[in-house]
């Protein structure tokens, strides 16, 4: 359970680095999970909790030939399909500052699924197939 | 995350070490904009000691490059380690930022 704000990011990465190898993750998988989870939790702290304190429950597990992570939290919903993919070929002046986090998550994970429920809470599930580096 | 700055001739070298994430990136952003305000617009970010960056760190570097170039200078990268390089490539930043294997080459590139 991450309770607090952005200072929890280092704890989150340390948890993944310590836990993921037990599920058969190699160095490349651990890197991908750390970055994807960091980006996801940063977005939750910044855009859902509005830089206030909040709680995110993190679970990591192995499912067949993949490693899965869920982030459970309460707060507002958003439409992920409305987040424009950043144009990575644009010249410097036109590079957008935001949107990279979700883009990274989608690049690093085979599945990124958002579920929103005001009563039961929101859940973000990410799945990465192992051995596909 | 720690950083320290030194002048090598007319070039400002900022050595960044540790982890850059949404918590630690703002301090680096402040440091870079302070230096740019003092007209130190030719900057090398030494990433040899940087173990990790998220998109928050990249955003700081991107803004640094934009601001430096607007003032007629540039911010160039040096010594990025494999994990940091992966994030730079993932973001497509390698096409807009100049990256060098080490500080000496990056500093010399301004000559």
Domain boundaries, chain A: 2-129
Q: B49 and B15 in contact (C-beta within 8 Å)? A: yes
Q: Which residues of A touch B91 (CB under 8 A)?
A: 88, 100, 104
Give the count of domains, chain B: 1
Does residue B60 form part of some domain?
A: yes
- Which pLDDT score, from 0 to 100, does residue B20 have? 97
Q: Looking at the domain assignment, is residue B47 inside a domain?
A: yes
**Given a cut of 80, is residue A96 above it in pLDDT?**
no
Q: Would you state the structure tokens that stand for residue A15, as one six-digit string?
A: 């948890």
Return the residue in B21, B52, B65 with the most chain A beta carbons within 10 A, the one to mutate for interface testing: B21
Residue B68 CA to residue B73 CA, distance in Å, equals 5
Side-chain-side CA neighbours of residue B14 (13 Å): 25
**What's B64's domain CATH number?**
3.30.750.24
User: pLDDT digit string (tens) for A100-128?
Assistant: 999 999 999 999 999 999 999 999 999 99
* DSSP letter assigned to residue A81: G
Sheet holding A2-4, edge to edge: A2-4, A54-63, A66-73, A122-129, A111-115
CA distance A133 to chain B (A): 13
pLDDT of residue B101: 96
In chain A, positions 10-69, which contact chain B (CB-CB < 8 Å)?
A: 10, 13, 31, 34-35, 38-39, 42, 45-46
Kindly give the residue spans of alpha helices, DSSP state H, lying in A27-99.
Answer: 27-43
Q: Report how far residue B61's alpha carbon sits from residue B50's, in angstroms, rounded to the nearest whole number.
A: 13
Q: What pLDDT, on a 0 to 100 scale, did the predictor assign at position A132? A: 55
Contacts of A18 (CB under 8 A, 6+ apart): none
Instruction: Quote the domain boundaries for residue B87.
Output: 2-101
- What is the predicted ipTM? 0.93
Tell me if A97 and B86 make a contact (CB, 8 A cut-off). Answer: no
At residue A10, the pLDDT reads 96
- Residue B74 neighbours by CB under 8 Å, 6+ apart: B41, B42, B43, B65, B68, B98, B110
Average pLDDT over residues A18-32: 96
Do B55 and A39 lie within an 8 Å CB cutoff?
yes
Residue A30 has pLDDT above 70, yes or no: yes
* Confidence label for A48 from pLDDT (cuts 50, 70 and 90): very high
Domain A2-129 has CATH 3.30.1360.120: no
Give the mean model confidence (pLDDT) for residues B49-64: 96
User: What is the per-residue pLDDT for B71?
Assistant: 95
- For residue B20, give every residue at least 6 positions away whose Cβ sits within 8 Å of its Cβ, in sequence order, or none: B1, B28, B50, B52, B53, B54, B56, B57, B60
B31's enclosing H/E stretch is helix B25-37
How far does B4 lie from chain A, in Å, by closest CA? 21
* Chain B nearest CA to A63, separation (Å): 26
Average of pLDDT values for A7-30? 96
- In the predicted structure, residue A131 carries a pLDDT above the cut 80: no
Question: Would residue B31 count as lying in a domain?
Answer: yes
Mutate to test the interface with A, among B18, B19, B22, B64 (most CBs of A within 10 A): B22
């Amino acid at each position: 359970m991450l309770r607090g704000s952005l200072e929890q990011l280092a704890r989150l990465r340390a948890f993944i680095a310590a836990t993921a190898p037990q599920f058969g993750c190699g160095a490349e998988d651990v890197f991908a999970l750390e970055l994807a989870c960091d980006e996801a939790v940063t977005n939750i702290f910044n855009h859902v909790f509005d830089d206030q304190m909040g709680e995110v429950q993190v679970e990591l597990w192995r499912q067949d030939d993949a490693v899965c992570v869920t982030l459970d939290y309460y707060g507002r919903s958003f439409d992920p399909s409305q987040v424009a993919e950043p144009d990575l070929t644009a010249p410097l002046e036109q590079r957008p500052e935001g949107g990279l986090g979700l883009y990274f998550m989608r690049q690093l994970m085979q599945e990124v699924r958002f579920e929103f429920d005001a009563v039961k809470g929101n859940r973000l599930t990410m799945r990465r197939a192992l051995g596909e580096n | 995350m720690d950083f320290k700055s030194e002048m090598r001739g007319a070039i400002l070298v900022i050595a960044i070490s540790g982890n850059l994430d949404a918590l630690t990136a703002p301090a680096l952003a402040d440091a870079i904009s302070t230096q740019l305000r003092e007209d130190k617009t030719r900057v090398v970010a030494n990433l040899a000691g940087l173990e990790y960056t998220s998109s928050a760190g990249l955003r700081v570097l991107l803004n640094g490059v934009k601001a430096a170039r607007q003032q007629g200078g540039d911010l160039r990268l040096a010594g990025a380690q494999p994990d940091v390089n992966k994030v730079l490539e993932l973001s497509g930043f390698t096409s807009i930022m100049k990256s060098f294997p080490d500080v000496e080459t990056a500093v010399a590139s301004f000559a």
